[in-house]
Each structure stands twice: as structure tokens, then as C-alpha cells.
Amino acid sequence: MKITIIGSGYVGLVTGACFAEMGNHVVCLDRDAAKVERLRAGEVPIHEPGLETLVQRNAAAGRLRFTTEAAEAIGHGRVIFLAVGTPPREDGSADLAHALDAARSIGRHMNADRIVVNKSTVPVGTADLVQAAVRAELAARGADHRVVVVSNPEFLKEGAAVDDFMRPDRVVVGTDDAAALRLLRTLYAPYTRNHDRLLVMDVRSAELTKYAANAMLATRISFMNELANLAEELGADIESVRSGIGADARIGYSFLYAGTGYGGSCLPKDVKALMHTASSHEQPLSILSAVDAVNEQQKGLLARRVVAQFGPSLAGRRFALWGLAFKPETDDLREAPSLALIAQLRERGAEVVAYDPVATPAARALLEGDAGVRFASGALQACDGADALLIVTEWKEFRSPDFEALRERLKQPLVFDGRNLYDPVHAAAEGIDYRPVGRRRLHLKVAERAVASPASQVLPLSA
């Protein structure tokens, strides 16, 4: 099948490459000429495991092309996917300028009947606006081509997007048009051979489903973060609580990890956009307001703990920071908790030495000009002479560190762990003053009983 993708960002590029992998002929349209040239050369501008190989293989096979020419791209595809950005406005609402510009371009250049599929995350009712914009351009040039707008939201996790697309847990399709539904069933059939995972509904329900899904994930994260803060006050262990409630099949284990808050391009933006939609219809979502407020508060958790330890002025202090991306397996820094933490430490005069296995180039460009932020070539190198280590992103290479080397490099063996990577008893036995999130204080006797280590190597954990 001939497919056009408008927008070669994260969603558009993954979608185009994965469709091409199944034998479809895909043209990706993007305004950014420099990005298009890089993609033509086989360079993928984002870090996503497996994507670059997919792009290079299908481009070499002639099934995946990139262009800046709207007429060429729109004339190519029997089905046209919109995968453009919908950035937040100051009031939290989604900015639909790119989506409506793309719709008008489709109306100006389509030369036959087309099915337009909205993959972008957009407010309920956007399909109607897109259809109206296309039809207005058709009417302006006296063309009578038929256009059907379908909602087909993406549910891709950064860091696992290719696998998510190839093995979806569901494919949501919002349409009341039988021909469009048949086409999308055919298009997605190679990805759902094991069993039918196509969920068909009306367009507005499909648009709301995407927002509802991200709002639920954000709610689980903020709930666990609030519960973790309570657990510390009560002397409980949030990891034990997580296991206890996750074992309930009605709840499950996913998105129940306490930490320093959520970030990225989706959850923060979509929570605010859904709140704005609800308020504009006089149906405010009180739960989501709390979810958003808790998340903003949680992003300051590690900074507050550092201040509690070292005092309000951090001038002359240096802190090692492990992890910059908002989650592992990506270089995405949008709304990353690390950036909030760096800003809070710098405001108090601290120096920060950061390390991330993937996101350092993006962070260096973003923080260029701040002499108080440096970037290390390795995790241990970041710790040299630091007053403490702060862990923000749970990259795999941080999960089993050389604790002896940590003790030697840090001024004092103090670790503030925003992702609960280590067993507190083991960390104490390794001589680390370990400060996780939501885990009860472990006293010297507990650590001594649990791990056979010389008492001289065991330090009690403080709250």
C-alpha cells in the first residue's frame, strides 16, 4: 500500500519505518530540509533502539523515502497519516496549528479521494476541524474529492517504540466509515496476526482514549510518589507496598515505581491538555489537577534532600548526577526531572557534573553557557570529588555499580537515589549512606544481620 506520513518526528518516523518494514511504500513529508537530508543519508536524529537500522534497511530497499515537497508526498499516499506536533500553549491547551496547516496542505494538493488518519495526540473534536480544513481547500479550488478523517492514536513508549508498533497490545481506530475501516484493518493485519487487537469506536472516543490512557499512567505515578513520601514518615518500605498492591490482578505492577516525577513529551503535556478540555466544558478534573501538582512537587524532592543535608547555600559544593533523559533508552530531555534538579541546585550555587550514556549531547546543547554544569565521560568520572551522587534516570549501567570505587571517588559515600535502584541493606553493607525514595530507615543492626560485612563498612541510613 502507498502511504504518506506528514511529520518525520518521533511518531512519524517510527510509524513510517514500521509500515515500510511490512512491504508498504512510504513517503515521509517534513518541512525541515536539514532533517530530511539527514534521513536520506540514513541518519536518525533521535535515539530509539532499532529505529536507525529499520530506516536504513527500508530506504535502501526503496520502500521509505523522505521529502520536503508537499505535492509529491500527498499525491503519493492512498492513506495519509498526520504525525505532527501539538505543543502546549501557555494555558495548557494543545496547539493545533501544525495539524491544521497539514490539513490545508492536503486539501491543496490531493488529486484523488483520500483517507486522512490522525496519529497525533489531539483534543476531542480535532478530526472535525481537520476535515473542515481539507474541505475548505478543496472547495476553494473547485475539487470534489472525497476525504475521510480517522482517529488512530499512537501508544508508543519511548525506548521501546519499534517493538510497541510491531507488537501492539491494541490498535485503536475511530471511524464510522466502512471503507476506511477496511483499509486500516488491512494495513494493520501484519501486526495483529496472533489475535485481533483492533478496537473500533467512534472518532471522538478514540481521541479521548489517548488522553485518558496517559492521564491514567500519570495518575499511577503521582499516587505512588505521594504514597512513598507517606511511607517514609510511617517507617514503611514503598517497594514492599508496591509488591503487595501490584500482586492484585486488578492493579498490576506497571507504573507503580516511586521516584522523582514523570517527564517526557507526552504525560505532562497530555495531562494539562485534558485538564484544559475538561475545564472548557465546565467539567474540571480534580484528580488530574492533583496529579499534576504532585508531579511538580516531586521534581524538587532530591533538591530538598540535598538542602536538608548541606544547608540552604550550596556554594562550593559539587554534585554528581547520573541520568539526564526523562527515562532510559532515549535522549529526550523534554520535561525531564533532571533539568528541574539541575536548575534548583544551580540556583543555590552548586556545581553539577552530569553523566548520561545517550542524552549528554542534547543536554550539552541545552545547557550551553552555564559554566556550573559540566559533563563527564563516564558514571564514575562524574563522582570525582563530588559531595554526593544523585541518581535521576534508571539506566541499566547504573544498576550494579562498583560501590568501592564510589566510596573512593566521592568526598563522602552519600547517594540520593531518585529511582530506588539498590537494596538499602546491601548499599549500607557496602559502606554507602544511601537515601532512596519511600524506603524506611535501616539501622546498623538490621544491616549487620542481613548482610555479613565488617561493621566498619556499614553505615546507618538517614532519612
The whole-angstrom separation of Cα 429 and Cα 411 is 18
Half-sphere exposure in the Cβ direction for 400 (13 Å, CA)? 0
What is the maximum span of the chain, computed from C-alpha positions, in angstroms?
Answer: 86
CA 318 to chain centroid, in Å, comes to 29
266 a catalytic residue: yes
Q: Which residues contact 394 (CB under 8 A, 6 or more apart)?
A: 323, 327, 328, 419, 421
Answer whether 312's CB lies under 8 Å from 243's CB.
no
The whole-angstrom separation of Cα 224 and Cα 222 is 5
Answer whether 52's CB lies under 8 Å from 42's CB.
yes
State the virtual CA torsion across 178, 184, 188, 189 in degrees, nearest 10: 40
- 179: how many CB neighbours lie within 10 A of its CB? 12
The whole-angstrom separation of Cα 96 and Cα 258 is 33
Q: Which residues contact 90 (CB under 8 A, 6 or more apart)?
A: none
Residue closest to 457 by CA, chosen among 443, 446, 444: 444
Distances (CA, A) of 27 to 76, 162, 189, 190: 7, 18, 20, 20
The whole-angstrom separation of Cα 54 and Cα 67 is 18
DSSP class of residue 413 equals -
Which SS3 state, helix, strand or coil, does residue 446 take?
helix
C-alpha cell of 342?
539541575
Q: Which residues are catalytic?
A: 266
